[in-house]
Amino acid sequence: MSDLDRGNVRLAPEKSPDLTTGGGGTPVVPPPARRRARKGIGWPARLEIALMTGPTLLVFLSFVILPVAMAAYYGFFSWQGYGPAEEFIGFRNYLFIFKDGTFIDALRHNGVIVVLSLLLQGPAAILLALLLNRRMRGQTLIRVLVFVPYVIAEVVVGIGWSLMLHGDGFVNSILADLGLAWLQNDWLSDPQIAIWTLMGILTWKYIGFAVILFLAGLQGIPEELTEAAAIDGASYWQIQRRITLPLLGPTIRIWAFLSMIGALQLFDLVYIIWGQYIAATAGTSTMATYMVANGRNAGEYGYGNAVAVVLFFISLVAALIYQRFILRRDTAGAITGGKN
Amino acid sequence: MTATAVIGRRAPRARRRPAWGNPSVYFVALLLIATMLAPVVYIIVGGFRTNAQITTDPAGWPNPWRFENYLDVLTGGTFWRQVLNSTIVGVATTAAVVTLGLMTSFILARYRFWGREAMYSLFAAGLMFPLTVAITPLYILIKNLGLMNTLPGVILPQIGFAIPMTIIILVPFVRAIPDEIQEAASIDGCSRLGFFWRMVLPLSKPGVITVGILTFIQSWNSYLLPLFILNREETFTLPLGVQAFASQYSVDTAKVLAFTSLSMIPALLFFSLFQRRIVGGLTGAVKG
């Protein structure tokens, strides 16, 4: 723009004086002394921005945002998936969803899974993380092994567990060998038990993730604090209760958020182990398995889209409520990249 | 603090060797590991048994050890074709996600322009659009694009859905590169894009590796999307293949176990090679 500006082109990167590192929040690195406040940016920079974000935006908009918009549109139609959607039926799909007892059941199962995931995995994972955070030999190996189930594909987990759990499979046989034959059960199809079986498998599969997150959070807690407390005579459990847990709070809250969303969207394991028909009778069906069974598998794509929209809004409302009341402190400014 | 924390965390690791602690800690840890590994061991060992052995004693040890199941799977073409498909999908998805994600993160972290915050929020909001919700319309979209039963039909949506997490992890990494480095580079005559190539790329390597591993493992294990898009057996990825195999040979439990355990080897191998990166990267992600 000006001589000064042109003179600076080589000297200072055009962008750096303008950088607000915190992105709206407080700058992480104090910006270097501003040479001059710039209003706009040059054409080369604009070209760079377009070239380097364009492809990403294109893929993201066409394969993430557009399908969600399409779901909202097709949800108002009775449509079998071929030809143009012509039979507009307003909100009838939605009315049908909430009148369908099968969906209400699935919704209830999702609720149970969300709550039980938090109650079962949370405390267990915190205890395990505390345990694995103690100085011990083989720490790295143990951490890796705890994470193994998380890395294994849902399909493998599903097939492995269903072979182990079926009537005369590994689990019942082990119980017999241990003299615990009275504990033998029809683990997968008894509606009283199936949901607990599912919770057991979910806990086994996903607790490693929680443990790793918590371990990461624990590493961020300065040792000086616990050492000081120990010098002041606090016991191990007092230290964990009064110092570690509160400081681990943000990590726990983020994990709980991820866990909640994951539980609301749960599909793979249920569909693989129980399949679309048995899941409903065994009491493990979820909104997502209901969506696939009554949408694509039934050839009712309009209806499937409506279920997707309902599933999305339920997740969204849950997420917003959670963020509003619980995560707010932790994520203040996170959307703009600010750090706490 | 994210990226700096991750980078800086390595230092205190090189402390003195920990002493042997409380034995009960080891006992609980051992119990935990046994629980975590038992099903995996069951699948692997079960593949070495015969169906007769499995039926008579479901919880027994192979006696004698039989290698036919594994050999059958390894010498058949099905398994390798699915490995190839999964590899193509995984590598293509990972390469594209890392490339696109890093370029976009660089712009979002280092450029100041109108709409930057909106763009970041848009990507961040993408976290709220899980694949499960979009799967039905995605299937229609892919069908309209003529990509049904093709690997790109799986790769493209996977890239889209991996982008938000990638950007959330990488932006702090790029942002944590001190401005002084950029200024120094620019004094030495380095353009903005040169700075990207010479400084940003190497300095954000830990973040890139983490994102890459997570994307690859996720792609390797992904089930729902291939289930909708790939209906022809020659295009199956491993998860679909494993399930098809399990229902096709449902009476041949031993062979199913062999097939299943072979299919999890690549992800386990990949994970054990890079586990430190994953754990380190999640540290960054959760703090971000």
pLDDT at A162: 84
Task: Please answer yes or no on whether A53 and B103 come within 8 Å at the CB atom.
Answer: yes
Burial class (CB in 10 A: 0-12, 13-18, 19+), B118: exposed
At A153, list the tokens.
């594909």
pLDDT digit string (tens) for B105-159? Answer: 888 877 777 777 778 878 877 777 778 888 888 888 888 888 888 888 889 999 9
Q: Is the same domain home to A185 and A314?
A: yes
Which pLDDT band, with edges at 50, 70 and 90, does A41 fall under? Answer: low
Task: Kindly report which listed range (A6-15, A52-61, A143-152, A282-291) carries the lowest average pLDDT score.
Answer: A6-15
Cβ B186–A11 below 8 Å, yes or no?
yes
- The domain tally of chain A equals 2
Residues A14 and A156 in one domain: no
Q: Is A139 helix (H, G, I), strand (E, B) or coil?
A: helix
pLDDT at A323 over 80: no
Among B134, B221, B288, beta carbon nearest to A153: B221
Q: Give the per-residue pLDDT at B105.
A: 85
Q: Which residues contact B251 (CB under 8 A, 6 or more apart)?
A: B51
Identify the weakest region by mean pLDDT among A331-340, B150-159, B249-258: A331-340
3-state secondary structure chain B: CHHHHHHHCCHHHCCCCCCCCCHHHHHHHHHHHHHHHHHHHHHHHHCCCCHHHHHHCCCCCCCCCCCHHHHHHHHCHHHHHHHHHHHHHHHHHHHHHHHHHHHHHHHHHHCCCCCHHHHHHHHHHHHHCCHHHHHHHHHHHHHHCCCCCCCHHHHHHHHHHHHHHHHHHHHHHHHCCCHHHHHHHHHCCCCHHHHHHHHHHHHCHHHHHHHHHHHHHHHHHCCHHHHHHCCCHHHCCHHHHHHHHHHHCCCCHHHHHHHHHHHHHHHHHHHHHHHHHHHHHHHHHHHC
Please tell me which residue of chain B has the smallest CA distance to A167: B58
Q: Half-sphere exposure of residue B274, counting CA atoms within 13 Å on the CB side?
A: 22
Chain B residues with CB under 8 Å of A136 CB are 18, 20-21, 25-26, 29
Same domain flag for A9 and A157: no
A26 and A139 in a single domain? The answer is no
The per-residue pLDDT for range A209-225, each reduced to its tens digit, is 888 888 878 877 788 88
Q: Quick one: A244 and A139 in the same domain?
A: yes
**CB-nearest partner of A216 from B42, B46, B286:** B286
Residue A255 has pLDDT above 80, yes or no: yes
B74 pLDDT above the threshold of 70: yes
Closest Cβ opposite residue B107 in set A20, A49, A132:
A49
> If 0-12 CB within 10 Å is exposed, 13-18 middle and 19+ buried, where does residue B230 land?
buried
User: Is A48 close to B260, i.e. CB distance below 8 A?
Assistant: no
**pLDDT tens digit sequence for B217-244:** 888 888 888 988 888 888 888 888 888 8
Interface test with A, best of B179, B213, B273 (most A CBs within 10 A): B179
Say which CATH number the domain at A246 has: 1.10.3720.10
- The Cα B26–Cα A254 span in angstroms is 29
Nearest to A308 among B5, B133, B220 (CB): B133
Domain co-membership, A36 together with A128: no
Highest mean pLDDT, choosing among A50-54, A118-122, B125-129: A118-122
The minimal CB distance from A12 to the residues B186, B193, B221 is found for: B186
Across A246-269, average pLDDT = 84
What domain range is A316 assigned to? Answer: 102-331
- A140 and A247 housed in the same domain: yes
Which residue has tokens 């979009």? B134
* Interface test with chain A among B136, B155, B275, by most A beta carbons within 10 Å: B136
Judge whether A84 lies within some domain.
no
Answer yes or no: do A243 and A314 share one domain: yes
Residue of A8, A11, A52 best to disrupt the B interface, most CBs of B under 10 A: A52
Find chain A residues with C-beta within 8 A of B193's C-beta: 48
B contacts of A144 (beta carbons < 8 Å): 271-272, 275
Residues of A within 8 A of B286 (CB-CB) are: 213, 216-217, 251, 254-255
Is residue A226 exposed (0-12), middle (13-18) or buried (19+ Cβ within 10 Å)?
middle
Pair (A25, A119) in one structural domain: no
Q: Which residues of B touch A46 (CB under 8 A)?
A: 113
Distance from CA of B59 to the nearest CA of A (A): 5
For the stretch B76-120, pLDDT in tens is: 778 888 888 988 999 999 999 998 888 888 888 777 777 777 788
- Token pair for residue A223? 């040792």
CATH: 3.40.720.10, 1.10.3720.10, 3.40.605.10, 2.70.240.10. Which one for B2-14+78-287?
1.10.3720.10
Calculate how close chain B gets to A53, using CA atoms only, in Å: 5
What percent of chain B lies above the pLDDT cut of 70? 87
